[in-house]
């Protein structure tokens, strides 16, 4: 494996980690107005993710930094072409972060209700738009011979990318509902179970539609043939296994299964993309690859050394954080938000 491939894999891992961890954050935020009926319950719901949500977002900051350093042409084309979509995601994340901090600053019911809905909107938009953005990498966008994006915002919207966006939202809401069931007590826990049973089957159908759409609207069939390999089937098997485990009441294992669904889904996308990083819909030869979009070999070597030193430290710290805050949030728990 050369360094270009290594950094492509690392970027994929960073995006996967972000979507697994921030995915349940988004799901909890979307469910907030529906599973909590008063201020005390809403505070308990928010406190299930309160200690970890900002740490989870570090994964996408690191992923963006890795793209900038390892594949600068990819970064330039991606952030210029997807500018409005990424701006909407950033604005939603800022609104969400501010809402977490501001909702408890005044006792007014209207004040807190406003920020609660801001958490809902700030979770809903990114949960959907990340699916749209990642699907566009594989479907193809207007990129010319000079590696410049020459389309507009509406070139990013198509039946395939919209299905991907709705599918990612449904999977994240299911993922978040299972997390909430594990981290809360009744009556929130009972409402989270109801949400799982309501959203979970739809998430399964939408994921199947996304996989089938990948064959219809992208070049995956032309490149890989009818058999895309084991990974896409593992994604579908994982979400079906999650449904079975939910039915059996094994919520911890169900959370692991939805985590694997996200892992295998993102892995499928990046494997179908490789060795490209962005597909040109104008001419396949103008697509960005891990070679024509990369930094110099020296830069990649230095980055590899730095990553080898610091990534294990960051992973150990985040793992320790989850261990410290592993307990359920009950009515007796001291609430911060």
To the question of pTM greater than 0.95 for the whole model, the response is no
pLDDT digits (tens, 9 = 90+) for 50-107: 888 888 888 988 899 999 999 999 999 998 888 888 999 999 999 999 999 898 888 8
Give a yes or no: residue 134 inside a domain.
yes
Give a yes or no: residue 13 inside a domain.
no
pLDDT digits (tens, 9 = 90+) for 271-320: 989 999 999 999 989 999 999 999 999 999 999 999 899 888 888 988 88
Give a yes or no: residue 337 inside a domain.
no
* Predicted local distance difference test score (pLDDT) of residue 78: 92
Q: Which residue has the tokens 């909430």?
A: 180
Q: Which residue has the tokens 């710290």?
A: 317
The span from the CA of 101 to the CA of 96, in Å, is 9
The CA-based angle 188-102-64, given to 5 degrees, is 90
Give a yes or no: residue 62 inside a domain.
yes
* Predicted local distance difference test score (pLDDT) of residue 89: 92
Give a yes or no: residue 162 inside a domain.
yes
DSSP state of 288: E
Alpha-helical segments (H) within the chain? 3-35, 39-49, 53-70, 72-81, 83-102, 109-139, 159-183, 188-217, 220-224, 230-247, 251-273, 297-324
- Local confidence band at 332 (pLDDT 50, 70, 90 cut-offs): low
The span from the CA of 271 to the CA of 139, in Å, is 13
Closest CA to 15 of 220, 269, 233, 239: 269
Where in the sequence is the domain holding 37, given as residue range(s)? Answer: 18-324
Q: Is 147 exposed, middle or buried (0-12, 13-18, 19+ CB in 10 A)?
A: middle
The whole-chain average pLDDT of the chain stands at: 89
* Predicted local distance difference test score (pLDDT) of residue 186: 85
The span from the CA of 199 to the CA of 197, in Å, is 6
Give a yes or no: residue 10 inside a domain.
no
Q: Please list the residues that pair with 276 across neighbouring strands.
A: 289
Give a yes or no: residue 8 inside a domain.
no
Sequence-distant contacts of 187-190: CB under 8 A, at least 24 apart: 187/37, 187/41, 188/35, 188/36, 188/41, 188/44, 188/45
- Local confidence band at 334 (pLDDT 50, 70, 90 cut-offs): low
The span from the CA of 93 to the CA of 253, in Å, is 29
* Predicted local distance difference test score (pLDDT) of residue 222: 72
Q: Where residue 156 sits, what CATH number does that domain have?
A: 1.20.1630.10
Count up the domains in the chain and report the number.
1
pLDDT digits (tens, 9 = 90+) for 193-252: 999 999 999 999 999 999 888 888 888 877 766 666 788 889 889 999 999 999 898 999
Give a yes or no: residue 4 inside a domain.
no
Q: Is the pLDDT of residue 336 over 80?
A: no
């Amino acid at each position: 494996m050369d360094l270009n491939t290594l950094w492509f894999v690392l970027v994929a891992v960073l995006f996967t980690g972000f979507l697994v961890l921030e995915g349940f954050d988004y799901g909890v935020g979307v469910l907030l107005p529906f599973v909590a009926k008063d201020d005390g319950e809403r505070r308990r719901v928010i406190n299930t993710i309160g200690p970890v949500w900002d740490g989870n977002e570090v994964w996408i900051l690191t992923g963006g930094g890795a793209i900038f350093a390892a594949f600068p042409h990819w970064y330039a084309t991606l952030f210029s072409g997807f500018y409005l979509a990424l701006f909407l995601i950033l604005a939603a994340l800022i609104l969400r972060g501010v809402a977490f901090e501001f909702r408890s600053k005044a006792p007014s019911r209207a004040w807190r209700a406003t920020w609660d809905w801001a958490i809902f909107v700030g979770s809903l938009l990114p949960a959907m738009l990340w699916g749209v953005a990642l699907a566009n990498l594989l479907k193809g966008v207007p990129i010319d011979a000079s590696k410049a994006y020459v389309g507009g915002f509406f070139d990013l919207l198509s039946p395939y990318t919209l299905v991907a966006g709705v599918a990612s939202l449904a999977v994240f809401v299911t993922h978040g509902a299972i997390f909430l069931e594990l981290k809360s007590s009744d009556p929130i826990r009972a409402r989270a179970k109801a949400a799982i049973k309501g959203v979970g089957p739809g998430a399964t159908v939408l994921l199947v539609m996304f996989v089938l759409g990948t064959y219809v609207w992208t070049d995956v069939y032309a490149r890989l043939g009818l058999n895309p390999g084991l990974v896409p089937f593992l994604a579908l098997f994982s979400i079906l296994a999650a449904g079975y485990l939910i039915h059996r009441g094994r919520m911890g294992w169900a959370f692991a299964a939805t985590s694997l669904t996200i892992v295998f889904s993102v892995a499928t996308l990046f494997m179908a993309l490789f060795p490209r990083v962005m597909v040109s819909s104008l001419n396949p030869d103008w697509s960005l690859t891990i070679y024509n979009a990369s930094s110099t070999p020296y830069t990649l070597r230095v980055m590899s050394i730095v990553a080898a030193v610091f990534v294990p430290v960051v992973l150990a710290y985040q793992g320790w954080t989850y261990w410290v805050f592993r307990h359920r949030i009950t009515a007796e728990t001291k609430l911060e938000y």
